[in-house]
Structure 1
Amino acid sequence: MTPRATLLELPIQNVEIPAGEAREVAWNVTAPAQLAFTRAEALLWEVEAKDSVSGARDALKAHQRLIPAVPLTVQQATLVQIDGPFSLPVAPPADGLATNGTIRGGLKLALQPKLAEGLPGVRDWFARYPFACLEQKTSKSIGLRDGKLWQGVLAQIPTYLDADGLASYFPPREGEGARGSDILTAYLLAATHEAASLNPAFALSDEVRAPMERGLTAFVEGRIQRNFWSPQKDLDVRKLAAIEALSRYGKAQGRLLGSLTLAPNQWPTSAVIDWINILKRVSDVPQREQRLAEATQILKSRLSWQGTKVTFSTEQSDHWWWLMTNGDVNTARLMLAVMDDPAWKDDMGRLANGFIARQQRGAWHTTTANLWGGLALEKFSAKFEATPVAGVTRATLAAATASVDWAKVERIKTTDASGAPNQTTAFGAPASPGTLRGNTMWLPWGKTPPETLSVTHQGTGKPWLTLQSLAAVELKAPFNAGYQITRSVTPVEQAVPGKLTRGDVLRVTLEVNASADMTWVVITDPVPGGATILGSGLGRDSQIATQGEKREGWAWPAFEERSFEAFRSYYEVLPKGVVKMQYTVRLNNVGDFALPPTRVEAMYAPEMFGEAPNARVKVEAAK
């Protein structure tokens, strides 16, 4: 047996296999850490078997995924326009993991000639985003401007629609009834319409859009109802979002407003923006011009500035997370709503810079904010940025230097190898057709921090710099920010008491203590490499082993995801208090495994989360 594997030196093994029998052949290896920090996260195997008597040969190729237990993450980030020399004192985190005395990671610098070319920090954020409901799949594919990924999502959308044509976050289960979400449906219609105005490839097809339009119309007219948990009354706000989405396709009329109480001064900012868009598109609304002037004045009166950062005076009450909206979303949608309004022309530059200042670690907080934000700044750039960038941009950090020659920056084509799916990059989003190549720099951390980063541009134009500080920081103690999560493991089937052995079956109990009621919460718990999470109903599953799994508390998962790397449970509503849930896992591989933290997070209020570190798991061979 002759093995070959990426970055590994493996010995040849000779094995005797009697006729009619089988033998297992294994190699004990240490996973190459550097492979886990590439975009591909893959270890490639090729094993060739040769019969020493007959000379017969066979070979097997396999792809093994490697996920870092402590990944490189963005510690800090900023987006600035290079207009003259730029310098910044930088240092890696003191507790960052090191290799050979040097902190892992460094500074990633990505340059764009204008904002219309996209935001590297946002693309990287989307590339790392792990969750997969319909909204998140849509936001991610469009946010990455990945046409192929979007076509895959578009093909799946019909399976997410209920009998009324409204979209669900996860495919409806048989017998569940019509529980599609009006707010999700409105978001899909509005976001794809906005994206299609920049690139028609991201439009919804007529066949997919038509039932969604019918469903929203029926919802607004009261012919169907959707009653979901919410912390306050929200029906008028939801109907406004639905009418705004319909107005984009010419499907809204003034009569649809008949069931609403028109009190824009009492609405959250998201609803005021919807109202402005409706008034601009629907011509038969009574007192249209007067109402539009009133709504515009309300928006202007709510705008506030903290230095260069734009906020709203109603920011706290505007955080309607259960409807997927917040201050970031509102700012982006405000920019889109007034982009072509001459009365706002002089404010657009300040709004764009103020919106960028709302970013944290190079992106905004949520999938919806990052999609709307990317669309808003791309549209702003196309309208207001014209000067081309040429020359050379140089960066220096201690003894390390790097540069971007703008004459060599080029756009990736579909036919280029680097534009192919799943190609490798050191960190962040993979290259894709239409994005730029040759516009990034990497400066590793030095051995004597802190140091000063210096960036200069020699030539025409003012390039935009996305600067990200990357390091691998291990979670050493539980962290609670609205959620507390604990994890315990008990054996269901154990060959050797007190030891974990290949073939053992374990019951994992996760307990979450929530400080507040919240919608759309996800719990993620990693499993050792090669382990199988039971309960999927697929081959080699075990119904007997999963018997006795318990759930406690007033919450039930909307969807459960059993992947090769983790168990995920999505909750439509996770109430305040304690919730317990269990799952069962079988250990299939011998080894010593490091695990990432167990995490609970509110997907549309990500400042609400909890994490708990996990100890290494050692699985021994059966005797």
Structure 2
Amino acid sequence: TSEKSLTITLTPDKPANAQYQPRDTVTYRVKVTDAQGQPVKAELSLALVDKAVLSLSPETPGQLLATFWRNRGLGVQTGMGLTLSMDRVNLAVAPEAKGGGGGFDQGFGEIRGEFKDTALWVADFVTDENGEGTVQASLPDNLTTWTLTGKGVTAADTLVGEGTVEIVSTRPLLVRPVTPRFFVVGDQAQIGMVVQNNSSQPQQTIARLQADGLEVSGWRVGEGEWQSGGEPQVAIPAGERVRIEYRVTVQNVEQVSLTMGAKSAAYGDALTFDLPVYRYSTPETVATLGVLPEDGLRLEGVLLPRHFDPTQGDLTVSIEPSLAAGMRDSLRYLEHFPYECTEQTVSRFLPNVFTYRAYQQLGMDTLKTGQAAALKEKLPGLVSVGLQRLYSQQHVDGGWGWWVADKSNPFLTAYVLLGLVEAKRAGFAVDDEVIQNAVGYLQSNLKPPKDVEKPWQANRQAFILYALAEAGSGDLGRSVALFKEREKLDYFGRAFLAMAIHRLDEEASQVDTLVADLTDAAIVSATGAHWEEAQVDYFAMNTDTRSTAVIIAALSRIRPDHPLLPQAVRWLMTVREQGGHWETTQETAWAIIGLTDWMTATGELEGRYQWRVLLNGQELGAGQVDETNIDETTRLQVAVADLLADQVNRLAVERNPAAGASASPGQLYYAAYLTYYKPVQEVKALNRGIIVSRQYRLVDDESGRAVSEAEVGDVIQVRLTLIAPHDLHYVVVEDPFPAGAEPIDASLATTSVVGQQPELVRTDRRSPWGRGYGWWYFSHAELRDEKAVLFATFLPKGTYEYTYTIRASLPGEYRVIPTHAEEMYFPEVFGRSDGALFRIR
């Protein structure tokens, strides 16, 4: 195959032994020749990447040639888990370099703050007929080795090849931070910097630290004595380095902003960055929500608990003049949800697609400002990223699982198909082969209705039929046959079946019957109308809130003038969580879809009135609603320390006609959330359907005893014990680390063999295979900066132990946030461990 190879030569504009500095512009010359050394025109991808990232999982040279020209056998290979974690890295957008360093004069040089893993990415670089070309790259602020990789192919005869070249970006005097990746309020730590003298002369240096959010109580150089004043000054020989440490205590802040640097008479370096700060406490939230459909005043009472932490917490009041305003926070919640399973990948863009299509139908997509304009700008990126992820995770049978390692799931596959179809309707390019493979998988999972025994099976069939109908592959015969067995369906299943039949035949009598069934089942109260299921369909991730949202969508499409719809919309808007979203991603996604369908059917984007909010007789805020701000939310916030602690606080929401107007059309949705924190000593283990505990053990300690302290460099085994008193569905376990410890990812090439592979052991005697399930294990795990996260699609009743390892890295006393386990789509089923203090010496 050597005659099929290309030689790609990449040459930077400085000699091989020369060095670059951050923010330099590098010009590379590209040269491509064939196996005979003749220049050829080729198309290349060029990537300039931090070598530290590439070293985590090095590529094998020659892979491109082997991929195109090896002897091929039959079979299919699927991707590896590492791709999933790197996807998330690649999607992260580097923040703009922030200001700061007010105490750093010009002797420290330009303060570095723009750090990137990838400095350049060109997907379609084409050489000229002589096989030559040039490309420029601006180096970020990383002090590192940058690797440029070129991979190319010719058009006519598919010659392929790859080449790499490295450059070094450094400074004569450089600073490297020594900090954790995060903090917890109250942590006491020793952070620092390593100052390295790369010059040929000794340097007399001054080191400086500016730390917003930290109380600094002392410093030392190397292993010297601790000092309480002044700044470190140290002579550094040529080619040597010194470590400077600071004792710090983390204050009650959201983040710590650090600027650190060193300078000599000739050289200087400084960098700035932020670290997130978490809280060693559990927030409690109580809420009241309501609607003012006409002028008037609504009075709410706010009472603080007997015991709370007065230094944190607040009362937040939201005023929303329309459903569009009310859905903005929900869309943001889905976009920034921290996990990327298949369901959440679809939920991240599908509701946005529905919302934007509603704006198009209501004529709002031409606006230059507001939510519609913002959504129009970001939607292509959301959809593109989601589609690429879904393409890469589709199984060979055409289906998808919750995670890529799970077997294909008909419910999730139908949800993905719905997302693909709606994205295509919105004008996005969607791979038709992916859609057809999904359709084929779902059609193979349709069963004769007479063979469907349990409600969850009937609900799944209804959802599959609905998704197929939306994809243009509906089956009216099967849908009508399932209608005859509708007593097996839950209410949300009947709603999906009604939408499926209505899509295929708007005049079908079965639709009228299903709508009548839903009408009769509605529960109407002072807060509105909703639906409650007789049992929980865990496999469909369903709740009563989700059922109500799905039924709103069905009625809005089939009977938009149904008298229950305004009441159901009001109920749905009043059961949101703090932050303006619903309790789970499925509830939130279907609530947005249902409300968007209602908004489209009714044109609910009219509003013109004045509003005012008063707290204990004092005006907290006021405003006026009109067409310019109908989709904008106003938030008012009061710290708990400013509330009355021993009596009821009176919160009044008032609505009046706009100045000079006799009528005030529109709705006013309001919400008040009181968030308070219990004192640290009250954060204890809690069992609400799951029992979870955590122990730390030193790997080198044969006694296996639990420990609460370690020395720097010790490898610590974390042992999580989870007891499931009953079968659990869609489980997520989050185990925060001590801030002074680093997780050991044994799958990475840079990890020492001392790092043990994570291991799951079932500790009860009951066979996990006894009920025929082979998918009970944790099918996906992530080691993040601040925690380990485990996911299980299904976890049978039993006791489990999960172990992984961390390494003690920075001295200090660290507050370890409790381990938390829950059913992701039924978060009222949860458990948490005790919190802990962990010392590193």
The TM-score range, normalised by the shorter chain, is 0.7 to 0.9
Residue 76 of structure 1 corresponds to 287
Paired residue for 1:595, among 794, 808, 816? 816
Residue 241 of structure 2 corresponds to 22
User: Mapping of 1:328-347 within 5 angstroms?
Assistant: 328-342=545-559, 344-347=561-564
Residue 561 of structure 1 corresponds to 782
Compared CA separation, residues 9 and 236, structure 1 to 2 (3 A): closer
Q: Aligned pair 1:470/2:678, yes or no? A: no
Paired residue for 2:409, among 174, 181, 184? 181
| 1:268 shift after superposition | 1.9
Q: 1:254-287 deviations in whole A, cap 9, x for unaligned?
A: 3555996840122222321121111111249xxx
Preserved contact between residue 466 and residue 499 of structure 2 (Cα < 8 Å): yes
| 1:95 shift after superposition | 2.9
Query: Could you say what secondary structure the match of 1:87 adopts?
Result: strand
1-structure distance, mates of 2:689, 2:708: 35
The residue type equivalent to 2:392 in the other structure is: T
Q: Aligned pair 1:537/2:742, yes or no? A: no
Residue 444 of structure 1 corresponds to 639
Query: Could you say what secondary structure the match of 2:270 adopts?
Result: strand
Compared CA separation, residues 233 and 112, structure 1 to 2 (3 A): closer
Residue 481 of structure 1 corresponds to 688
Paired residue for 2:430, among 206, 220, 244? 206
- TM-score, length-scaled by structure 2: 0.61
Residue 431 of structure 1 corresponds to none
Rg larger in 1 or in 2?
A: 2
Which structure shows the bigger proportion of residues in strand conformation?
A: 2
Paired residue for 2:263, among 50, 53, 67? 50
| 1:363 shift after superposition | 4.4
Query: Could you say what secondary structure the match of 1:365 adopts?
Result: coil
Paired residue for 2:795, among 574, 577, 592? 574
| 1:571 shift after superposition | 0.8
Preserved contact between residue 607 and residue 625 of structure 2 (Cα < 8 Å): no
Compared CA separation, residues 48 and 252, structure 1 to 2 (3 A): same
Compared CA separation, residues 536 and 216, structure 1 to 2 (3 A): farther
1-structure distance, mates of 2:289, 2:805: 42
Compared CA separation, residues 608 and 355, structure 1 to 2 (3 A): same
2-structure distance, mates of 1:612, 1:268: 36
Q: 1:37-77 deviations in whole A, cap 9, x for unaligned?
A: xxxxx3332222112xx421122233322222336553324
Compared CA separation, residues 468 and 127, structure 1 to 2 (3 A): farther
| 1:498 shift after superposition | 7.2
- TM-score, length-scaled by structure 1: 0.81
| 1:510 shift after superposition | 1.1
1-structure distance, mates of 2:565, 2:271: 58
The residue type equivalent to 1:468 in the other structure is: Y
Residue 398 of structure 1 corresponds to 616
Paired residue for 2:275, among 59, 64, 79? 64
Q: Aligned pair 1:2/2:208, yes or no? A: yes
Paired residue for 2:652, among 454, 457, 462? 454
Preserved contact between residue 236 and residue 261 of structure 1 (Cα < 8 Å): no
The residue type equivalent to 1:266 in the other structure is: K
Compared CA separation, residues 526 and 519, structure 1 to 2 (3 A): same
Preserved contact between residue 350 and residue 422 of structure 2 (Cα < 8 Å): no
Preserved contact between residue 399 and residue 438 of structure 2 (Cα < 8 Å): yes
Residue 226 of structure 2 corresponds to none
The residue type equivalent to 2:792 in the other structure is: Y
2-structure distance, mates of 1:106, 1:211: 47
CA RMSD of superposed structures (Å): 3.5
Compared CA separation, residues 513 and 375, structure 1 to 2 (3 A): same
Q: Aligned pair 1:155/2:384, yes or no? A: no
Query: Could you say what secondary structure the match of 1:206 adopts?
Result: coil
Larger RCO (CA under 8 A, 6+ residues apart): 1
2-structure distance, mates of 1:619, 1:605: 37
Query: Could you say what secondary structure the match of 1:33 adopts?
Result: coil
2-structure distance, mates of 1:136, 1:391: 37
The residue type equivalent to 1:29 in the other structure is: V
The residue type equivalent to 2:826 in the other structure is: A
Q: Aligned pair 1:321/2:538, yes or no? A: yes
Q: 1:470-503 deviations in whole A, cap 9, x for unaligned?
A: 2223552221111111111111147xx9742222
| 1:98 shift after superposition | 2.0
1-structure distance, mates of 2:598, 2:446: 39
Paired residue for 1:374, among 565, 578, 592? 592
Compared CA separation, residues 163 and 77, structure 1 to 2 (3 A): farther
- The runs of 5 or more residues in structure 1 that have no matched partner are 37-41, 225-229, 412-433
Residue 346 of structure 2 corresponds to 138
2-structure distance, mates of 1:572, 1:407: 45
Query: Could you say what secondary structure the match of 1:364 adopts?
Result: coil
Preserved contact between residue 164 and residue 211 of structure 1 (Cα < 8 Å): no
Q: 1:427-485 deviations in whole A, cap 9, x for unaligned?
A: xxxxxxx9636x22112233533311122233334422122212223552221111111
Query: Could you say what secondary structure the match of 2:242 adopts?
Result: coil
Residue 46 of structure 2 corresponds to none
Residue 156 of structure 2 corresponds to none
Figure out how many residues of one structure are paired with residues of the other and give that number: 566
Preserved contact between residue 535 and residue 543 of structure 1 (Cα < 8 Å): no
Compared CA separation, residues 221 and 189, structure 1 to 2 (3 A): closer
| 1:156 shift after superposition | 1.5
Equivalent pairs: percent with the same residue?
A: 19
Compared CA separation, residues 33 and 407, structure 1 to 2 (3 A): same
| 1:566 shift after superposition | 0.7
| 1:92 shift after superposition | 2.7
Residue 92 of structure 1 corresponds to 304
- The runs of 5 or more residues in structure 2 that have no matched partner are 1-206, 217-229, 353-374, 659-663, 702-706, 769-775
Preserved contact between residue 281 and residue 817 of structure 2 (Cα < 8 Å): yes
1-structure distance, mates of 2:308, 2:608: 37
Compared CA separation, residues 298 and 79, structure 1 to 2 (3 A): same
The residue type equivalent to 1:491 in the other structure is: L
Compared CA separation, residues 152 and 211, structure 1 to 2 (3 A): closer
Compared CA separation, residues 236 and 216, structure 1 to 2 (3 A): farther
Paired residue for 1:527, among 728, 734, 737? 737
The residue type equivalent to 1:486 in the other structure is: S
Residue 108 of structure 2 corresponds to none
Paired residue for 1:216, among 432, 439, 456? 439
Residue 138 of structure 2 corresponds to none
Preserved contact between residue 118 and residue 378 of structure 1 (Cα < 8 Å): no
Compared CA separation, residues 343 and 124, structure 1 to 2 (3 A): closer
1-structure distance, mates of 2:573, 2:215: 48
The residue type equivalent to 1:68 in the other structure is: R
2-structure distance, mates of 1:390, 1:545: 63
Preserved contact between residue 154 and residue 204 of structure 1 (Cα < 8 Å): no
Compared CA separation, residues 159 and 15, structure 1 to 2 (3 A): farther
Residue 773 of structure 2 corresponds to none
Residue 513 of structure 1 corresponds to 723
Preserved contact between residue 288 and residue 672 of structure 2 (Cα < 8 Å): yes
